[in-house]
Amino acid sequence: MKILIKRISVGIVLTLIFLSGCSNTPSESRKSSTLSTNVELSVDEQSTYQEALEAIRSDNAEKAIQPLVKITRSHSEHIGAWINLANAYLKISKISEAESASAHAKEINPKVAEVYNLQGLIAVQKGEYSNAEKNYVQALQLKENYPSAHYNLGLLYDMYYQDLDRAIIHYDRYLELSDGADKKTIGWVAELKQKIKRRNK
């Protein structure tokens, strides 16, 4: 169970790949054209936003919620703020709040892969595994080379469906896209492949 909880938390953290993509710095806005909006944050708001993101990265998601709520109230079309707010709520297990925030993000732009990836994570926490699968698949249809969605779909097939063959396909793709930097997942996938090999003897 401890391993499972740790691996789910990794999946949630991987959503943070998106986090800075909707702020207003030029280098970040180039990450994904589908995430661009006409929302402009003031210098103070940008600083507040980045502090909120850092709080999430530092496992202090609760600290991020109030500033993100403030930004969404002032800039209701800021999709990044809504996604990060949903992510913060999810990390502290406020599932209904996470659902609401992710729904706002989806209304702003229904073609953002990160929204579906996040909604997949929410569905897993609710025990809605078929819905989680649907969301992860949709995320990959929108962004084929999306490491987090591949990881989360692999995790779903692995832990909840016990479909190791499909799990390995997505784990391997995740590792390819992340340049094999995740040593724990490399080890885990090696164990799964050995398990399949023994099963097929």
Nearest Cα to 37, choosing from 53, 21, 54, 16?
21
% of residues, the chain, pLDDT over 70: 81
Q: Which residue has the higher pLDDT, 29 or 152?
A: 152
What are the structural domains of the chain? 6-18+40-199 (1.25.40.10)
At 37, the pLDDT band (50, 70, 90 cuts) reads: low
Lowest mean pLDDT among 13-17, 23-27, 71-75: 23-27
Give the model's pLDDT for residue 201: 78
Query: Which pair of tokens denotes residue 123?
Result: 């569905």
Give the model's pLDDT for residue 56: 92
**C-alpha span between 14 and 181 (Å, rounded):** 13
Query: What separation in angstroms does the CA of 19 have from each of 35, 55, 109, 179?
Result: 11, 12, 16, 20
Range 118-135 average pLDDT: 97
Task: Answer yes or no: is pLDDT of 21 > 90.
Answer: no
The pTM of this model reads 0.83
Q: Rg of the Cα trace of the chain?
A: 17
Query: Which pair of tokens denotes residue 91?
Result: 């990390």
Give the model's pLDDT for residue 159: 95
Nearest Cα to 71, choosing from 29, 119, 37, 31?
37
Range 112-135 average pLDDT: 96
**C-alpha span between 121 and 103 (Å, rounded):** 13
Q: Per-residue b/e over 148-165, b at no fewer than 16 CB within 10 Å?
A: bbbbbbbbbbbebeeebe
Give the model's pLDDT for residue 38: 66
